[in-house]
Amino acid sequence: MKISFNYPHITGKELEYIKDVFESRHLCGDGKYSQLCHGWLEEKIGCERALLTPSGTAALEMAALLLDIKEGDEVIMPSFTFVSTANAFVLRGAKIVFVDITRDTCNIDAGEIEKAITSMTRAVVPVHYAGIACDMPAIMKICDERDIAVVEDAAHAILSNHNGKALGSFGSLAAFSFHETKNLVAGEAGALIINDARMVERAEIIREKGTNRSQFFRGQIDKYTWQDLGSSFLPSELQAAFLWAQMEEAGFINARRQATWEMYHQALKPLEENGLLRRPTISPGGMQNGHIYYVLTNTAEERDELMHYLVREEIGAVFHYIPLHDAPGAAKHSRVCGNLDNTAYVSSRLLRLPLSVSLSQEQVQFVVDSIAAFYQSRIRKGQLQQAAL
Ligand SMILES: Cc1ncc(COP(=O)(O)O)c(C=O)c1O
């Protein structure tokens, strides 16, 4: 039974909507389908404005431009994240200050943020790892008191919430990703969420190559001109049409993924109770979206052995981020505040299990049985002391 790690879900409406775009001859951005996606995001997130972007990376780059990040500024974030979280701000000349995560949620440790703040701190970028909420009330309090901007990296977190408030609605800005590995996919695509109304007009300008073309298309001005910094940050209608088909089915997609997540969680409980591995922890009040199911092994060596064992069983199990502070790009552009022990711990022990809409209960059970068989064989060989499972 070959089980791939990721299998992008296609709803069946994508081609119909793309054909509609062909026939309408409105191929560039911000046509009917972009507007539908914007409206959907604005309703679901409850934000001032949502703007589709070509990627989550582009949304983060727009956030850095909107905040006028410049040389000498510091931006605090976890090291356990994707490179774009950092690069978007490095591109504007900022120094990244990496702080540790907590072992339970794999999210930035709010207490560590406070210690890292200096007079140069301009922004904090919490990453909602696996769609599980960061401690947003604590982060917002720390940042609001000091007038530091919060940009949520919500790449994993579409339709997750914290006490009913959508992730992506806390910071002044947030970025989502619709890369083919995410819950809602469009190949490559993303969205910038703007919660601070004062930033809406400038965001539109930055996204339209530094011009006020959005206002022109709305008939608010009779010609458009160069206004500010900007770039080409809007995707074509073809991407938007694909994404709209996904948004229409977002409830079904997330429900299926959450059910699979829950099945893993229940089935792996005995292994956790036997002290063989650890399962994810949901922050209190958090409602996650079934984006990633992972386990944490007891040692780094065990994670690699389990991963190879599963791969031999044709199960696509993969590790996740190599901490950014250890990567070659870090030396010139970042510093570390405090120790990053939890980051090193999680990065070396975390194993992501297959999760997609089409994954069957039988396949989930096969993955769980294979994990149990791995531990049984280690116990038999005397490599582990735990009681039989
Ligand atoms: C936490 C995080 N932020 C940002 C991104 C970038 O998103 P995209 O691939 O859409 O550019 C990713 C991509 O996986 C990510 O995991």
Encode pLDDT of 154-187 as tens digits.
999 999 999 999 999 999 999 999 999 999 999 9
Asked whether the beta carbons of 197 and 68 are under 8 A apart, the reply is no
- Three-state DSSP class for residue 218: coil
Distance 270 CA to ligand 1 centre (A): 33
Average pLDDT over residues 134-151: 98
Q: What span, in angstroms and rounded, lies between the C-alpha atoms of 237 and 310?
A: 40
Task: Give me ligand 1 centre to Cα 185, in Å.
Answer: 12
DSSP element (H, E) containing 177: strand 173-177
Selection from 199, 177, 197 nearest residue 188 by Cα: 177
Which residues lie closer than 8 Å to 274 by C-beta, 6 or more apart?
A: 375, 386, 387, 389
Residue from 84, 85, 129, 291 to probe ligand 1 pocket by mutation (most atoms less than 8 Å from CB)? 84
Give the chain's end-to-end CA distance (angstroms, integer): 23
Whole-angstrom CA distances from 172 to 49, 153, 221, 311 are 11, 12, 27, 42
Predicted confidence at residue 388, as pLDDT, reads 45
* Residue 29 burial (C-beta neighbours within 10 Å; 0-12, 13-18, 19+): buried
**Which pLDDT does position 114 carry in this prediction?**
97
pLDDT reported for residue 384: 76
Q: Is 85 in the pocket of ligand 1 (CB under 6 A)?
A: yes
Residue nearest to atom 10 of ligand 1 (CA): 56
With tokens 């990296």, the residue in question is 153
**Percent of the residues in the chain that have a pLDDT greater than 70, as a whole number:** 99
Question: Is the shortest distance between the CB of 290 and ligand 1 below 6 Å?
Answer: no
Chain segment 192-240, per-residue pLDDT in tens: 999 999 999 999 999 999 999 999 999 999 999 999 999 999 999 999 9
Q: At what angle do helices 14-24 and 237-248 cross, to 10 degrees?
A: 150
> 88-92, 208-212, 328-332, 363-367: which range is least confident on average?
328-332
Contact 56, 155 (CB under 8 A): yes
pLDDT confidence of residue 385: 62
Tokens 């356990």 sit on residue: 80
Those residues whose C-beta lies under 8 Å from the C-beta of residue 344, and which sit 6 or more positions away, are 323
Which of 6, 179, 347, 350, when mutated, tests ligand 1's pocket best, judged by the most ligand atoms within 8 Å of its CB? 179
Nearest CA to ligand 1 atom 16: 82
- Phi/psi zone of residue 270: left (φ > 0), alpha (ψ -120 to 50 degrees), beta? alpha
Please name each of the domains of the chain with its CATH number. 14-248 (3.40.640.10), 251-380 (3.90.1150.10)
Query: If you take atom 7 of ligand 1, which residue's CA is the nearest one?
Result: 56
Out of 53, 57, 89, 291, give the residue to mutate to test ligand 1, the one with the largest number of ligand atoms within 8 Å of its CB.
57
Averaged over 43-62, what is the pLDDT?
98
Rounded-to-integer distance, Cα 10 and Cα 59, Å: 24
Best probe residue, ligand 1, of 61, 125, 177 (max atoms within 8 Å of C-beta): 177
List the structure tokens of 172: 């002044």
Residue 339 clears pLDDT 60, i.e. is over it: yes
Cα separation, 150 vs 140, whole angstroms: 7
Is the CB of residue 297 less than 8 Å from the CB of residue 349? yes
Residues 263, 271: Cα–Cα separation, whole Å: 14
Angle in degrees, 0-180, between the axes of helices 32-41 and 237-248, rounded to the nearest 10: 40
Residue of 182, 319, 197, 320 whose CA lies nearest to 254: 182
Residue nearest to atom 15 of ligand 1 (CA): 82
For ligand 1, whether the C-beta of 29 sits within 6 Å is: no
The count of C-alpha atoms lying within 13 angstroms of the C-alpha of 120, restricted to the half-sphere facing its C-beta, is: 13
